[in-house]
Amino acid sequence: MSTIPPILLVGCGRMGSAMLSGWRERGLAPSVAIDPSPAAAAFAGADLTVVPSAAAVPAAFRPQAVVLAVKPQSAAEALPAHARYAGQAVFLSIMAGRTIGGMRKLLGETAAIVRAMPNTPAAVRQGVTVACPGAGVTDAQRALCQSLLEAIGAAAWVDDEALLDPVTAVSGSGPAYVFLLAELMEQAAIEQGIPADLARLLARQTVAGSGALLAASPEDAAALRKAVTSPAGTTERALQVLMAPDAWPSALSRAIAAATARSRELAG
């Protein structure tokens, strides 16, 4: 039995395909995906028709949600073709930086739009998404979007759309910060004489295991950090370097501020 109603997925890139996989696990009613890439045909199945353009969507198809998973730079070209669904479907956008107001200009003033920012752990159903409903989104449409987003991880809502810019900087871009940590730990381990294959195992499993512990623990991150930091021990010595005023505290704050600013710039 399907728990996900008919969906029109616009874009089968990394995030779009991750969402599609999550929906299929929950049971996807016959749906349509638009993607001109020849590779996108591999997603076709009994529950999904893949077409190269909006013009090729079957005229009789009536989606309950149109999920906009194209690059934000493609919005002006891609969105107007879907304005015909305004008034009958909710638009769920995962395009970074594209505002509800800007999308409404392309989709029509009657369009019900939810703007959301997921992140790449969605590929293993461990993502987190923050969503903001635009004017005219009904309770039923919000519940549908909640279901679509929970298929790839946790989902939360905000009423202030401006918060999606720092959300993008923290969680949308956040996996890259974590991957950089693993990358740098691996390099530093090799510098200390650890064989490359062991250095990679240590870095990756330490990051992955620490994340799992953080997710499972009721304690906050600071408490967990303190629990592993013995007085006058090796961890304390390392943290004296990492937590110096001009090190991680300052660098991460500046990095998230820079990403927030870029998200606002993308809004145009």
Each residue of 150-204: pLDDT tens digit?
A: 999 999 999 999 999 999 999 999 999 999 999 999 999 999 999 999 999 999 9
Residue 250 clears pLDDT 90, i.e. is over it: yes
Full domain range(s) for residue 150: 7-164
CB within 8 A of 36, min separation 6: which ones?
Answer: 52, 53
Measured CA distances, 84 to 14, 125, 215 (Å) = 26, 32, 42
pTM over 0.85: yes
Q: Are residues 105 and 235 in the same domain?
A: no
**Residue 31 sits in the same domain as residue 154:** yes
Span 103-149, pLDDT tens digits: 999 999 999 999 999 999 999 999 999 999 999 999 999 999 999 99
2 in a structural domain: no
CA distance 189 to 182: 10
Which residue has 């369009």 as its token pair? Answer: 111
Q: What is the mean pLDDT of residues 239-268?
A: 91
Same domain, 12 and 109: yes
CATH number of domain containing 146: 3.40.50.720
